[in-house]
Structure 1
Amino acid sequence: MYQAVRARVGALVCGARAARRDAGMVTSEYAMGIVAAVAFAVVLYKVVTSGAVSAELQNIVKEALDARM
């Protein structure tokens, strides 16, 4: 019985140590996700503000505002 309890406590302690070593992983994963999202936003901004796309978007909005029901 004593050995079983000792093994169980040892497993819990080792698990806690592993969790403490792995604590920085979550932060780095969030940081990489944020970097990827910002990069995607920059590319999307460049595409939307380019001359051809901007003119087409303005035409779409103009036609929508001039539409009569």
Structure 2
Amino acid sequence: MTVHVVPVRHHSPARRIRVLLRRRVDWLAVRARRLGGARADAGMTTAEYAVGTVAACAFAALLYKVVTSGAVSGALSELLNRALHAV
């Protein structure tokens, strides 16, 4: 597709806006045509969300184990007590 470039500065303000909008619409149409072939793997998003959810749950479980361990729990309690007694 050939996009004709018209110098914008020689037109009235309303004409300038129409020309600029037409250029944007033409550009978006070209982009949409180029990306049209990307729909072949549309089902992949569900699998990607599932893998991401499993990874997030595994990270949350690991973080829970670390925070509830004796050493970390004691350090957090000590830090909280020091913060409350400082005020």
TM-score after normalising by structure 1: 0.67
| Aligned match of 2:50 | 31
Q: For 2:64 and 2:47, locate their aligned partners in 1 and report how far apart those are by CA, in whole Å.
A: 26
Cα distance per residue 1:19-43 (max 9 Å; x no partner): 2x42210110011011111100100
| Aligned match of 2:78 | 59
- The number of residues matched between the two structures is 54
Q: For 1:26 and 1:46, locate their aligned partners in 2 and report how far apart those are by CA, in whole Å.
A: 30
In structure 2, the gaps of 5 or more residues are 1-35
More helix by share: 1
Q: Which runs of 4+ in 1 moved over 2 A?
A: none
1:37 aligned partner, one-letter code: A
Identity %, equivalent residues = 62
Tell me how large the CA RMSD over aligned residues is: 2.2
Q: For 1:36 and 1:26, locate their aligned partners in 2 and report how far apart those are by CA, in whole Å.
A: 15
Q: Whose relative contact order is higher, 1 or 2, with alpha carbons under 8 Å and at least 6 apart? A: 2
After superposition, where does 1:1-69 map in structure 2 within 5 Å? 15=37, 19=39, 21-68=40-87
In structure 1, the gaps of 5 or more residues are 1-13
